[in-house]
Amino acid sequence: MAEREIVKEYGREDLTVIWKPKKCIHSEVCVKTLPGVYKPNDKPWIRPENASVEALVDQIDRCPSGALSYRLATKDKKPELKTENMSQKVEVTPNGPLMVHGEIEIKMVDGSTETKKRATAFCRCGASDNKPFCDGSHKKVDFEDS
Return the percentage of the chain with pLDDT > 90, whole number. Answer: 46
Nearest Cα to Cα of residue 67 among 34, 21, 105, 26 = 21
The parts of the chain modelled with pLDDT lower than 50 are 75-85
Compute the half-sphere exposure of residue 96: CA atoms within 13 Å on the CB side of its CA. 15
Q: How far apart are the C-alpha atoms of 138 and 122, rounded to whole Å?
A: 11
Q: Would you say residue 17 lies in a domain? A: yes
Counted domains in the chain = 2
Length of the chain (residues): 146
Q: Please tell me whether residues 13 and 60 are part of one structural domain.
A: yes
Q: Would you say residue 82 lies in a domain? A: no
Contacts of 44 (CB under 8 A, 6+ apart): 10
Q: Which of 25, 41, 72 lies at the terminal end of a domain, its last residue?
A: 72
Q: Please tell me whether residues 93 and 65 are part of one structural domain.
A: no
Angle at 17 between CA 44 and CA 80, to 5 degrees: 165
Task: Report the CATH number that the domain containing residue 60 is assigned in CATH.
Answer: 3.30.70.20
Q: Would you say residue 42 lies in a domain? A: yes
Q: Would you say residue 63 lies in a domain? A: yes
Q: Would you say residue 83 lies in a domain? A: no
pLDDT tens string 45-75: 999 999 999 999 989 988 888 889 998 886 4
Q: Would you say residue 54 lies in a domain? A: yes
- Domain residues for 28? 8-72
